[in-house]
Every structure is written in structure tokens, then in C-alpha cells.
């Protein structure tokens, strides 16, 4: 009996010891190391990561989740730093101009009428550009924070036709073609649809020569409706394509700034599509033009007067192709 109890006690002790060792090796020790890594990251070691553990264990899943979370936070912080730096740079230029002309006026610089008028014109231009940047930033913040409510079924065809009218006013000499059916509905907010299409279209006007043709297409694809703005301009280099919808990004910063761009138009388009649960993208090649597109969730197959904000749909017959 003594020998049996001793053997049983030894076996039990061995089993308990193995369990304790196993729990410590696969549970307590990894948690302790992950806690140490988390403390180091919180102290400022942003390049520190949690080591990988044996696949299939809780420690492995936890370490993977922590590393993913840390990478996401780091990427968010990097984007925020770039955003603040870009916003500061964009606002600093008009502010410098305003300060320069105000200082010039204070020092009795331009005393003649023409000089004063020129200074006031430049101050007004820079103030308007700065106000545009601020309004775009506020619009982006509103879309990010609140999204879009009160979506309904809207017919995009008259909205796109209205945008074409606006483009003819902006550049009457430009050849603008449209291909779209008589009616096609999406689930969206009509004002935001107009804003997104107008942003893509004015982007095409700004970054293509005056003899380039712009084609706006509206087509139904499965459960969505695609609106594309194609141009016959010089195209875009492949390295720029993944970043075109980033805030303040410019493929050609000098040209964009000289023509009034602030690098936020396409970012607002991206925010609008995210808020609508839609998609967006760009297809472009150097020397062969570009195609920017957005896709809204589709509404009912056919729609008539659905109550969206209406405007005139005047078009030039030689510039419109209806399919």
C-alpha cells in the first residue's frame, strides 16, 4: 500500500508538474513577454513588436492580434502626422501672402490705386483659397464622423446631365461626351452624388489640355451603378495610382497648385463613397489617358421622378451620346 501510494503520488506530482510547466511555457511566460513589449511600446518604442508563438495556441492568436493593432495604430498616427504637416503647409502659403501684403500696406508700400487694388486682389485670392481648404477639411471631418444619413432612391441621369451643364459653363470650348441610359437609380443622397461627379469632372478639366476629350459614362453593373470620367490626357504614372485619393496628394504638385487644386477633391470623393458603402478607383496609363470611376449601390431597376434635387439638363447635341 505504501509503495502504491508512493507510486501514485509520484505520478500525480509528475502530471501536475507537467501541467504547471506547460501552462507557464504556453500561457504565463508569453503573456509576461507580451506585457513587457506592450509597456515598451507605450513608452515610445514604436518599432517594437510581439514575438510570434506556436501556431494554434491562444498566445499565438493574441500576439498576432496585438501586432495587427499596433501596426494599425502606427499607420493611423503616420497618416495623421502627414495630414497635419500637409494641412499646415497648405495653409502657411496663403497666410504668408496675407501677412506680406498687410505688412507692405502698413509700411506705406503701394500708395497708388493700381498697387492697392492688386494687393487687395491677391489678398482676396489667397483668403478664398484658404477658406476653400478649411471648408474641404470640415467636409471631410463631417463625412468621417457622421457619415451620410437620409439616403434614398435617386435617379443619377439628370444629376450627371446637370454636372455636364456646369462643365460647359466652366470650359465652353471643351469637348465633353456623355453615355448613359434614360434612367438609372442608386441608393444615395443626390447632393453628394453631384459633388462626387463634379469633383471627378473638374479634376479631369484641371489636369488635361484643352483639346483633350472628356467622356462621362453611367452604366449599371450587377447591384451597383458605375459613373466614370474618362479623358484623353497624358495619363498618370503607375506609382501615383495607389495614392491619388489620399488627402493633399498630388501627382504633379506644381501644376495642381497653379491651377487652384488643393489636393482634397479626390479625398472628398473617397469619403463620399465610403459613407455610401460604395467603391471607387482609377485606371490610367501614361500617354493613354485616365479613367476615374465611382460605384453606388443600385436602387430599383427603373425609376421616374424620385424627388431628388433637380436642375436643368441642357446639353449640346454634338457633345452628347445617349445609349
Q: What is the pLDDT of residue 273?
A: 92
User: Which alpha helices (DSSP H) does 171-276 contain, by range?
Assistant: 190-206, 253-258, 265-275
- Pick from 310, 303, 309: nearest CA to 153: 303
Grid cell locating 172:
465652353
* Cβ 311 vs Cβ 165: under 8 Å: yes
Residue 103, pLDDT > 70, answer yes
Grid cell 471631418 in the structure block, residue:
141
Q: What is the dihedral angle through the alpha carbons of 284, 289, 294, 298, rounded to the nearest 10 degrees?
A: -110
pLDDT tens digits for 189-240? 999 999 999 999 999 998 888 889 999 999 988 888 999 999 998 888 888 8
User: Which alpha helices (DSSP H) does 107-248 contain, by range?
Assistant: 113-146, 156-170, 190-206
Q: How far apart are CA 171 and CA 178, in angstroms?
A: 16
List C-alpha distances in Å: 273 to 133, 158, 283, 297, 300. 20, 19, 17, 10, 19
Q: What is the pLDDT of residue 158?
A: 93
Q: What is the pLDDT of residue 28?
A: 62
Phi, psi of 45 (to 5 degrees): -80, 75
Grid cell 489636369 in the structure block, residue:
207
pLDDT tens digits for 257-267? 445 466 788 98
- Judging by DSSP bridges, how do beta strands 176-179 and 214-221 pair with one another? parallel
Burial (0-12, 13-18, 19+ Cβ within 10 Å), 42: exposed
Topology classification of domain 86-146: Helix Hairpins (1.10.287)
Phi, psi of 224 (to 5 degrees): -140, 170
Grid cell locating 68:
495587427
Domain ranges of the chain: 2-75, 86-146, 152-319
DSSP state of 111: -
**230: alpha, beta or left? (left if phi > 0; alpha if psi -120 to 50):** beta
User: Residue 188 pairs with which residues in a beta bridge?
Assistant: 152
Q: What is the mean pLDDT of residues 281-290?
A: 88
Q: What is the mean pLDDT of residues 135-152?
A: 79
* Cβ 285 vs Cβ 216: under 8 Å: no
Grid cell locating 199:
469633383
Q: How far apart are CA 158 and CA 318, in angstroms?
A: 18
- Pick from 188, 147, 150: nearest CA to 271: 147
Where does the pLDDT of residue 162 fall: very low under 50, low under 70, confident under 90, or very high at 90 and above? very high
Where does the pLDDT of residue 308 fall: very low under 50, low under 70, confident under 90, or very high at 90 and above? very low
* Cβ 267 vs Cβ 139: under 8 Å: no
Residue 112, pLDDT > 80, answer no
Q: What is the mean pLDDT of residues 168-174?
A: 89
Q: How far apart are CA 100 and CA 96, in angstroms?
A: 6
Q: What is the pLDDT of residue 48?
A: 73
Does the domain formed by 152-319 have CATH 3.30.565.10? yes
- Pick from 175, 180, 153: nearest CA to 313: 180
pLDDT tens digits for 30-61? 777 777 777 777 777 777 777 776 676 677 77
* Residue 23 or residue 41, greater confidence: 41
* Cβ 302 vs Cβ 156: under 8 Å: no
Q: How far apart are CA 177 and CA 294, in angstroms?
A: 18
Measured from the Cβ of residue 57, the count of other Cβ atoms closer than 10 Å reads: 13
* Residue 107 or residue 311, greater confidence: 107
Q: What is the pLDDT of residue 109?
A: 54
User: Residue 295 pairs with which residues in a beta bridge?
Assistant: 226, 279
* Residue 114 or residue 26, greater confidence: 114
Amino acid at each position: 500500500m505504501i509503495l502504491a501510494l508512493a507510486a501514485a503520488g509520484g505520478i500525480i506530482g509528475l502530471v501536475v508538474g507537467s501541467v504547471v510547466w506547460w501552462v507557464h511555457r504556453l500561457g504565463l511566460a508569453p503573456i509576461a513577454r507580451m506585457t513587457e513589449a506592450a509597456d515598451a511600446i507605450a513608452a515610445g518604442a514604436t518599432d517594437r513588436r510581439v514575438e510570434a508563438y506556436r501556431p494554434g495556441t491562444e498566445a499565438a492568436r493574441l500576439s498576432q492580434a496585438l501586432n495587427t493593432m499596433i501596426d494599425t495604430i502606427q499607420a493611423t498616427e503616420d497618416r495623421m502626422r502627414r495630414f497635419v504637416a500637409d494641412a499646415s503647409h497648405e495653409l502657411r502659403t496663403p497666410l504668408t501672402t496675407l501677412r506680406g501684403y498687410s505688412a507692405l500696406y502698413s509700411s506705406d508700400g503701394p500708395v497708388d490705386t493700381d498697387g492697392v487694388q492688386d494687393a487687395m486682389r491677391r489678398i482676396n485670392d489667397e483668403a478664398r483659397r484658404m477658406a476653400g481648404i478649411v471648408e474641404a477639411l470640415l467636409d471631410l471631418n463631417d463625412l468621417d464622423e457622421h457619415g451620410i444619413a437620409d439616403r434614398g432612391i435617386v435617379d443619377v441621369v439628370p444629376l450627371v446631365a446637370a454636372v455636364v451643364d456646369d462643365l460647359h459653363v466652366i470650359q465652353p470650348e471643351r469637348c465633353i461626351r456623355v453615355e448613359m441610359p434614360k434612367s438609372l437609380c442608386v441608393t444615395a443622397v443626390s447632393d453628394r452624388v453631384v459633388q462626387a461627379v463634379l469633383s471627378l469632372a473638374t479634376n479631369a478639366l484641371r489636369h488635361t489640355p484643352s483639346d483633350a476629350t472628356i467622356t462621362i459614362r453611367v452604366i449599371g453593373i450587377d447591384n451597383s451603378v458605375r459613373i466614370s470620367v474618362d479623358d484623353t490626357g497624358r495619363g498618370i504614372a503607375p506609382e501615383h495610382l495607389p495614392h491619388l485619393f489620399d488627402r493633399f496628394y498630388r501627382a504633379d504638385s506644381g501644376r495642381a497648385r497653379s491651377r487652384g487644386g488643393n489636393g482634397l477633391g479626390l479625398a472628398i470623393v473617397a469619403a463620399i463613397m465610403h459613407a455610401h458603402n460604395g467603391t471607387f478607383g482609377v485606371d490610367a496609363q501614361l500617354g493613354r489617358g485616365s479613367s476615374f470611376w465611382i460605384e453606388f449601390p443600385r436602387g430599383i431597376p427603373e425609376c421616374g421622378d424620385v424627388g431628388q434635387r433637380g436642375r436643368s439638363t441642357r446639353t449640346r447635341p454634338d457633345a452628347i451620346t445617349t445609349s
